[in-house]
């Protein structure tokens, strides 16, 4: 595909004006790099986010008939990602698809084929990667600040958002964690063992414990639920030199160093464990993650060298495959091995 003129604004649309789509619509209407091409939601503009009611359309053909559309953000329920992307790809529209890429591996493969066969760009909205705390954590990991990492542990717990009907906590929420562990750890998931629980009486699971290792032997552990009476979003990376803790609710990053001073206490010396060193809380510039995601996608479309945080469709597929292995593991009580795609 030829790269586009970087001086002209891209025409961007959004499909679905629900919990996340409304934020996409807000940013598309405000951004200097994008001309808002309109929104599609047969349910209307329930959150009142559109500045001009004439930009609301009931279908993709109606949106396309109203003017040029270079790209669309697909923020419809997960099971509807594939049909929506097929329709957009057939019209030559690039897509930024909300996470998870699709409800099943089969759908994800078909979605990628639709985009690639049409010669279009696609990316996945794993927006946690754009959180300032995690961007900074990854930058410091890659700079070798804690040496070799050996454990990534995530915790994503809180009350149930009573709107998700089509998938359970693994595909809806844990896909954030399964994407993060491979992105931070630098290798794909090689093995995973998981347990789930169904406490709310829904068809899908509402609690997950997943333990595994990446292809480079970094271990990971994810605790995810819709049952806890308080919201926690925490990612911990433990390495040779200490531990990073990212709190993505508040976009905070803290570093706990192993003490560099020799320990003169016999018992502790014999144990050869780590001891507490300095603690540093980094001052971060806190940009809205969804805006960072939009910018990375626009960079991709315009062929501009950005910070490269756009998540590829293949990475999105890998996360869906890993989520399916997690569910298989929980169902069968077996450890699942994943072969690289
Ligand atoms: N990145 C994140 O952090 C994040 C957060 C929430 C949701 N999501 C993802 O975004 C997607 C949407 O989730 P949500 O929570 O906003 O759902 P939601 O139910 O709040 O909103 C979905 C909206 O899509 C509309 N819709 C349904 N079918 C449509 C179609 N064919 N065309 C256009 N509009 C249609 C509905 O009327 C509704 O307004 C899901 O895939 C979800 O996993 C991602």
Burial of residue 119 (number of CB atoms within 10 Å: 0-12, 13-18, 19+): exposed
Task: Confirm or reject: Cβ of 83 under 6 Å from ligand 1.
Answer: no
Closest C-alpha to 246, from 126, 99, 132, 127: 132
Stretches where the chain sits below pLDDT 70 are 1-8, 163-165, 261-272, 341
180 Cα–ligand 1 center, Å: 21
What structural domains does the chain harbor? 10-127+291-310 (3.40.50.720), 129-288+318-337 (3.30.360.10)
Residue 161 phi/psi, 5-degree rounding, is -80, 105
Helix (H, G, I), strand (E, B) or coil at 180: helix
161 Cα–ligand 1 center, Å: 13
The whole-number pLDDT of residue 162 equals 75
Task: Confirm or reject: Cβ of 98 under 6 Å from ligand 1.
Answer: yes
The whole-number pLDDT of residue 87 equals 98
Task: Confirm or reject: Cβ of 325 under 6 Å from ligand 1.
Answer: no
| Rg (alpha carbons) of the chain, rounded to whole number | 21
149 vs 214: CA distance, rounded Å: 12
Residues 49, 20: contact at Cβ < 8 Å? no
117 vs 257: CA distance, rounded Å: 49
Ligand 1 mutation target, pool 20, 88, 297, most atoms within 8 A of CB: 20
Ligand 1: which atom is nearest the Cα of residue 127?
1
The whole-number pLDDT of residue 31 equals 76
Task: Confirm or reject: Cβ of 43 under 6 Å from ligand 1.
Answer: yes
Task: Confirm or reject: Cβ of 103 under 6 Å from ligand 1.
Answer: no
The whole-number pLDDT of residue 266 equals 58
The whole-number pLDDT of residue 309 equals 82
334 Cα–ligand 1 center, Å: 33
Ligand 1 mutation target, pool 24, 41, 72, 290, most atoms within 8 A of CB: 41
Closest C-alpha to 98, from 117, 115, 85: 85
The whole-number pLDDT of residue 40 equals 98
Task: Confirm or reject: Cβ of 16 under 6 Å from ligand 1.
Answer: yes
Task: Confirm or reject: Cβ of 40 under 6 Å from ligand 1.
Answer: yes
Query: Order of strands, edge to edge, in the sheet holding 71-74?
Result: 56-57, 34-40, 10-15, 71-74, 94-98, 122-125
The whole-number pLDDT of residue 12 equals 98
The whole-number pLDDT of residue 109 equals 98
Closest C-alpha to 311, from 211, 180, 217, 161: 180
The whole-number pLDDT of residue 164 equals 63
H/E stretch holding 175 reads helix 175-185
């Amino acid at each position: 595909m030829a790269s586009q003129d970087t001086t002209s604004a891209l025409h961007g649309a959004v499909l679905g004006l629900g919990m996340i789509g409304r934020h996409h619509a807000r940013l598309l209407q405000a951004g200097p790099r994008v001309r808002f091409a309109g929104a599609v939601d047969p349910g209307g503009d329930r959150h009142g986010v559109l500045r001009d009611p004439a930009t609301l359309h009931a279908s993709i053909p109606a949106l396309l008939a109203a003017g040029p559309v270079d790209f669309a953000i697909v923020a419809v329920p997960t099971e509807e990602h594939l049909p929506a992307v097929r329709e957009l790809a057939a019209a030559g529209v690039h897509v930024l698809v909300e996470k998870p890429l699709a409800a099943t591996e089969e759908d994800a493969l078909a979605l990628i084929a639709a985009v690639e066969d049409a010669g279009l760009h696609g990316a996945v909205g794993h927006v946690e990667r754009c959180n300032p705390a995690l961007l900074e954590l990854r930058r410091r990991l890659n700079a070798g600040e804690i040496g070799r990492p050996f454990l990534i542990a995530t915790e994503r717990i809180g009350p149930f958002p009573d709107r998700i009907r089509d998938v359970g906590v693994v595909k809806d929420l844990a896909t954030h964690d399964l994407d993060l562990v491979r992105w931070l750890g630098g290798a794909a998931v090689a093995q995973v063992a998981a347990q789930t629980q169904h406490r709310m009486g829904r068809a899908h699971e509402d609690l997950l414990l997943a333990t595994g290792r990446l292809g480079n032997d970094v271990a990971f552990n994810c605790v995810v639920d819709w049952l806890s009476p308080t919201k926690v979003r925490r990612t911990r990376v433990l390495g040779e030199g200490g531990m990073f803790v990212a709190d993505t609710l508040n976009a905070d990053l803290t570093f706990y160093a192993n003490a560099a001073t020799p320990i003169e206490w016999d018992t502790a010396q014999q144990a050869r464990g780590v001891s507490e060193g300095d603690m540093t809380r980094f001052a971060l510039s806190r940009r809205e993650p969804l805006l960072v995601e939009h910018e990375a996608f626009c960079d991709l479309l315009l062929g501009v060298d950005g910070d490269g945080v756009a998540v590829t469709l293949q990475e999105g597929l890998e996360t869906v495959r890993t989520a399916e292995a997690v569910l298989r593991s929980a169902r069968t009580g077996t450890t699942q091995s994943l072969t690289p795609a």
